[in-house]
Amino acid sequence: MNLRKHVSLNINIRGNGQSATLAINDRCKSLMGEGKKIYNFGLGQSPFPVPMPVVNALKLYAHEKDYLPAKGLPALKEAVAGFHKAKDNVDANPENVLVGPGSKELMFLLQLCFYGEIVVPTPCWVSYVPQARILGKKVRLMHTSFEDKWHITPRRLAEFLESEHDIFRPRILVLNYPGNPDGQTYTLDQLKEIAEVARKYELILLSDEIYGQLHHKGEHISVARFYPEGTIISSGISKWCGAGGWRLGTFTFPKDLDWLLDAMASVASETYTSVSAPIQYAAVHAFRGGVAIERYLWNARRVLSTLGKECHHILTEAGVRVHPPEGGFYLFLDFTPMADRLSKRGITDSKTLCERLLQETGVAMLPGSDFERPYEELTARLSYINFNGANALTTSETIPIHDVLPEGFLQQMCPDTIEGVKLIAKWISGSNKD
Amino acid sequence: MNLRKHVSLNINIRGNGQSATLAINDRCKSLMGEGKKIYNFGLGQSPFPVPMPVVNALKLYAHEKDYLPAKGLPALKEAVAGFHKAKDNVDANPENVLVGPGSKELMFLLQLCFYGEIVVPTPCWVSYVPQARILGKKVRLMHTSFEDKWHITPRRLAEFLESEHDIFRPRILVLNYPGNPDGQTYTLDQLKEIAEVARKYELILLSDEIYGQLHHKGEHISVARFYPEGTIISSGISKWCGAGGWRLGTFTFPKDLDWLLDAMASVASETYTSVSAPIQYAAVHAFRGGVAIERYLWNARRVLSTLGKECHHILTEAGVRVHPPEGGFYLFLDFTPMADRLSKRGITDSKTLCERLLQETGVAMLPGSDFERPYEELTARLSYINFNGANALTTSETIPIHDVLPEGFLQQMCPDTIEGVKLIAKWISGSNKD
């Protein structure tokens, strides 16, 4: 019997491959296995370890074995609501929190449950469109521009919504700031204006603030402050808490969206059931925070902002269009200024750009097309995370908290990151000579 | 703004509520909160703690924070393959293992990815049909009978497959043994014959063997031994390893079904990403096994088989139709013999049966209809797990390994289980007097 002749797959699944961010990681590992020196700017993983109090909590609760409620451990829902109250000045209620195995899974459940349009500004996180494809649906893309810092403006949003004959259709707009893949955020005034537009058109906002605590100045602002009745805040421990592999994300709903929360929890109870119990108990300590976690965040921000600025400087000098980073650990590079030169080398799209860069220098980035940018646009995401975060953090902790990091810190702590970015600059200028 | 007026949900999700097993648990907790004495035979959770070496492994790997591959940690895939080789005498390959956050989630991915018919004998596990409903699909039910020990027979399977004009349609048959909700298993000869029928009709088998290591005599046999080329083995740490709340399940595929494995891993990478890293590292130790885990299993089986037999005895005496348990921790009770008497009390379906039993005695069971049995059939699942498993295990460990448990063990260790079962018997005989 040969079961291959029976291949019978849902047509929405065929040929999808795996998530772009996971795929680039596997690719890098395999190239390194061949003995090549690789600068992996591809994966979006925090370089820092999980803070010690949170790791210790996991050890303490390692024996917890009961199935937990589908919506989440009550103490964790309370901690998450408390977190958003304290950090974001939002009146969050524990009853309106949903805990899931990563905010990616929660986003999938949202797409599965919500019957309406999901609008995503691009460049956007890599999984929105593949998730929709799996479900046989479409997300509505809204392209932004370099000039608008790769984010939407209140005016463009209003125009977009007005352009429909059906302006009150059920619709969720996804916002993500500090942004993946762009590292940019919104100002207080912009958020206020976006909130006004959303309120006017009765638009639900999914505000993905998973990088909020990695705002480089620690000044993250949630749009939920200005639009509490219509904003779902997405968060989790993957980015600011370094625990991507632990798989825990949260959605905090406004009261009037309980119908959506309940529907998602219902699907959760029939699929993943609930998030791993020991992980949930440990996460309580992450969201409760405290002095140790604040110090961790302070140092993480200082390292990331110093490194991000330096990468930005090197790339700008080389002629790449890129905005100075404001949060998180990404830069979104635009090679349009050297399009002619690249074209002469046979590079006319972002995929080829990244493939050639990888082959010729060992530098791995994700092409702009993975973030739903037009195929021919010469953009790419750089994650400046290929350094030993534990060492960098320990060293940063020895330096007085309001000082800038001394000269030489980056060379010592993040040598591969600096070297990899310089290789991009060199590769680009090499293309000058063609 | 009132978002309630915008309620807009996928029609397949509306009104689903939460999983029956989780719902009964919440119901019991709420009744206990009101001060009522409740005998919770509803939830399907192992009463035993996670074995100490596995808990210690979780502590050891608590710091692991990296995103793991969507298919699973390589060392865990190796341990799972090794487990099936050693325990089931099946030539499993680590490359054909898929690790997920519970086998429930993996079953959902299977239903999402596989384009074909899924055939489920009833009584069956509570989530197959709700999962299909969420996806807008149907599963094909195949009712079994008390006389056939609630399992399929090779003859009936062949008849079922022959009854189609399209006998080679893409089709997966789900087998579950030792069974939930019935506690029954198959004999070696039955499995051989089922394997023959499956091979003849090129039928894929999903063999859910999550209770395999809880076969009361430790004599579980996998159908994959006789049909390796067409059997997917489902397992996990929720039942035999007591770690339901940890959320880790596994599917082990035959080589020729790599197209299905790859499709499921592709969806995994866009949804839950991968299973929590510390949990995967710890699970390696569960699947590798060893003396401590074997002793744990031996004692768990002795407690469960002794208790199951006693429950069976009490219920049979009271006139309930029920088979002596062979594995796991369930009995599937058939009250048909007292249908007339129950009818006089206004009980003519399984849902009313369980509701009245709960209200009048505090005993909670799940109605047969939750397991897709006909609504009017007077059946219900009893999980004999409402006792302190840690105490029972510790006490059992003090008794020589080949001895039977002494008289009085159950009264001391599982008083609520015995009392609850006696309450059912009394309630039934009370119905005699009507």
pLDDT digits (tens, 9 = 90+) for B164-191: 788 888 999 999 999 999 999 999 999 9
**Gap from B166 CA to chain A (nearest CA, Å):** 14
User: How many structural domains compose chain A?
Assistant: 2
Q: Which residues of chain B neighbour A282 with C-beta distances below 8 Å?
A: 62
Q: Which residues of chain B neighbour A13 with C-beta distances below 8 Å?
A: 112-113, 263, 266-267
Distance CA B201, CA B174 (A): 15
Confidence band, pLDDT 50/70/90 cuts, at residue B298: very high
Instruction: Provide the 10 A C-beta neighbour count for residue B351.
Output: 16
Does residue A11 lie within any of the structural domains?
no
Q: Which of A154-168, B73-87, B245-259, B381-395 bottoms out in mean pLDDT, i.e. has the lowest?
A: A154-168
What is the per-residue pLDDT for B433? Answer: 44
Does residue A8 lie within any of the structural domains?
no
**Gap from A147 CA to chain B (nearest CA, Å):** 31
Best mutation target among A124, A273, A296 (most B Cβ atoms within 10 Å) is: A273
* B203 lies in the same domain as B181: yes
Contact A114 B10 (CB under 8 A): yes
Instruction: Provide the 10 A C-beta neighbour count for residue A115.
Output: 16
Of A16, A26, A269, the CB nearest to B18: A269
Does residue B59 lie within any of the structural domains?
no
Q: b/e per residue, A30-43, with b = 16+ CB within 10 A? A: ebeeeeeebbbbbb
Q: Which residues of chain A neighbour B370 with C-beta distances below 8 Å?
A: none
Confidence band, pLDDT 50/70/90 cuts, at residue B1: low
Last residue of one domain, picked from the residues B270, B289, B308: B289
A44: amino acid identity, one letter:
G
* A130 lies in the same domain as A263: yes
**Gap from B428 CA to chain A (nearest CA, Å):** 32
User: Domain range holding B269?
Assistant: 64-289
Percent over 90 (pLDDT), chain B: 88
For residue B241, CA distances in Å to A70, B85, B298 come to: 21, 18, 12
- Chain A nearest-CA residue for B49: A65
| Number of A–B residue contacts, CB under 8 Å | 260
Distance CA A317, CA A325 (A): 15
Instruction: Kindly state the tokens that stand for A158.
Output: 């209003």
Contact B263 A19 (CB under 8 A): no
What is the per-residue pLDDT for A3? Answer: 67
* B158 lies in the same domain as B261: yes
DSSP H/E element including B33:
helix B20-33
* Spatial contact of A273 and B104, defined as CB atoms under 8 Å apart: yes
Q: Which residues of chain A neighbour B134 with C-beta distances below 8 Å?
A: 112, 267, 270
pLDDT tens digit sequence for A302-337: 999 999 999 999 999 999 999 999 999 999 999 999
Does residue B264 lie within any of the structural domains?
yes
Distant-in-sequence contacts of B8-12, Cβ < 8 A, 24+ apart: B8/A114, B8/A115, B8/A116, B8/A170, B9/A113, B9/A114, B9/A115, B9/A259, B9/A260, B9/A263, B10/A112, B10/A113, B10/A114, B10/A115, B10/A263, B11/A115, B12/B133, B12/B134, B12/B135, B12/B136
Does residue B156 lie within any of the structural domains?
yes
What is the per-residue pLDDT for B308? Answer: 98
B14-23, B39-48, B321-330 — most confident range: B321-330
* Spatial contact of B345 and B434, defined as CB atoms under 8 Å apart: yes
C-alpha angle B46/B50/B56, rounded to 5°?
Answer: 170
Instruction: Provide the 10 A C-beta neighbour count for residue A357.
Output: 23
* B337 lies in the same domain as B267: no
Burial class (CB in 10 A: 0-12, 13-18, 19+), A160: middle
Best mutation target among B5, B7, B8, B46 (most A Cβ atoms within 10 Å) is: B8
* A261 lies in the same domain as A143: yes
Give the dihedral sign, CA A315/A319/A325/A331. Answer: negative
State yes or no: pLDDT of B286 exceeds 70: yes
Of B2, B113, B276, the CB nearest to A246: B276
What is the per-residue pLDDT for A432? Answer: 43
Of B59, B130, B244, the CB nearest to A65: B244
What is the per-residue pLDDT for B83? Answer: 98
Backbone φ, ψ for residue A230 (5° rounding): -130, 15
What is the per-residue pLDDT for B356? Answer: 95
Does residue B422 lie within any of the structural domains?
yes
Does residue B349 lie within any of the structural domains?
yes
Confidence band, pLDDT 50/70/90 cuts, at residue A301: very high
pLDDT tens digit sequence for B112-135: 999 999 999 999 998 999 999 999
Last residue of one domain, picked from the residues B237, B260, B289: B289
What is the per-residue pLDDT for B432? Answer: 43
What average pLDDT does the segment A393-403 reach? Answer: 95
Distance CA A42, CA A28 (A): 9
Give, as one character, the DSSP assignment of residue A173: E
Does residue B54 lie within any of the structural domains?
no
* Spatial contact of A166 and A194, defined as CB atoms under 8 Å apart: no
Higher per-residue confidence, A20 vs A223: A223
* A332 lies in the same domain as A404: yes
State yes or no: pLDDT of A434 exceeds 60: no
Give, as one character, the DSSP assignment of residue B199: H
* Spatial contact of A53 and A281, defined as CB atoms under 8 Å apart: no
State yes or no: pLDDT of B17 exceeds 80: no
* Spatial contact of B382 and B333, defined as CB atoms under 8 Å apart: yes
Q: Which residues of chain B neighbour A3 with C-beta distances below 8 Å?
A: 202, 204, 229-230, 254, 256-257
- Chain A nearest-CA residue for B253: A3
* A298 lies in the same domain as A284: no
Q: Which residues of chain B neighbour A130 with C-beta distances below 8 Å?
A: 270
What average pLDDT does the segment B92-104 reach? Answer: 97
- Chain B nearest-CA residue for A202: B1
Q: Which residues of chain B neighbour A7 with C-beta distances below 8 Å?
A: 259
pLDDT tens digit sequence for B32-75: 999 999 999 998 899 999 999 999 999 999 999 999 999 999 99
Instruction: Kindly state the tokens that stand for B241.
Output: 């390893």
Distance CA A373, CA A419 (A): 27
Best mutation target among B24, B247, B296 (most A Cβ atoms within 10 Å) is: B247
* B111 lies in the same domain as B196: yes
Backbone φ, ψ for residue A381 (5° rounding): -100, 135
Best mutation target among A196, A272, A275 (most B Cβ atoms within 10 Å) is: A272
State yes or no: pLDDT of A16 exceeds 90: no
* Spatial contact of A237 and A212, defined as CB atoms under 8 Å apart: no
Backbone φ, ψ for residue B354 (5° rounding): -70, -35
What is the per-residue pLDDT for B3? Answer: 67
pLDDT tens digit sequence for A1-11: 566 667 889 98
What is the per-residue pLDDT for A43? Answer: 87
Write out the E strands in B31-170.
39-40, 97-100, 117-122, 140-143
Confidence band, pLDDT 50/70/90 cuts, at residue A37: very high
Say yes or no: ipTM exceeds 0.90.
yes
* A132 lies in the same domain as A227: yes
Last residue of one domain, picked from the residues A288, A317, A332: A288
pLDDT tens digit sequence for B222-257: 999 999 999 999 999 999 999 999 999 999 999 999
Mean pLDDT score of chain B:
94
Q: Which residues of chain B neighbour A274 with C-beta distances below 8 Å?
A: 245, 247
DSSP H/E element including A316:
helix A291-317
Q: Which of A20-24, A123-127, A281-285, B167-171 bottoms out in mean pLDDT, i.e. has the lowest?
A: A20-24
* Spatial contact of B157 and B205, defined as CB atoms under 8 Å apart: no
Find the CATH number of the domain harbouring A239: 3.40.640.10
What is the per-residue pLDDT for A48? Answer: 98
State yes or no: pLDDT of A433 exceeds 90: no
Distance CA B370, CA B378 (A): 12
Give the residues across from B208 on adjacent strands.
Answer: B176, B234
Distance CA A338, CA A318 (A): 10
* B103 lies in the same domain as B245: yes
* A280 lies in the same domain as A298: no
Name the packing angle between helices B350-361 and B415-430 (round to 10°): 110
- Chain B nearest-CA residue for A272: B105
CB neighbour list of residue A12: distance below 8 Å, 6 or more residues apart: A133, A134, A135, A136
What average pLDDT does the segment B311-337 reach? Answer: 98
Find the CATH number of the domain harbouring B332: 3.90.1150.10
* B107 lies in the same domain as B133: yes
Instruction: Kindly state the tokens that stand for B283.
Output: 């699970």
* Spatial contact of A31 and A42, defined as CB atoms under 8 Å apart: no
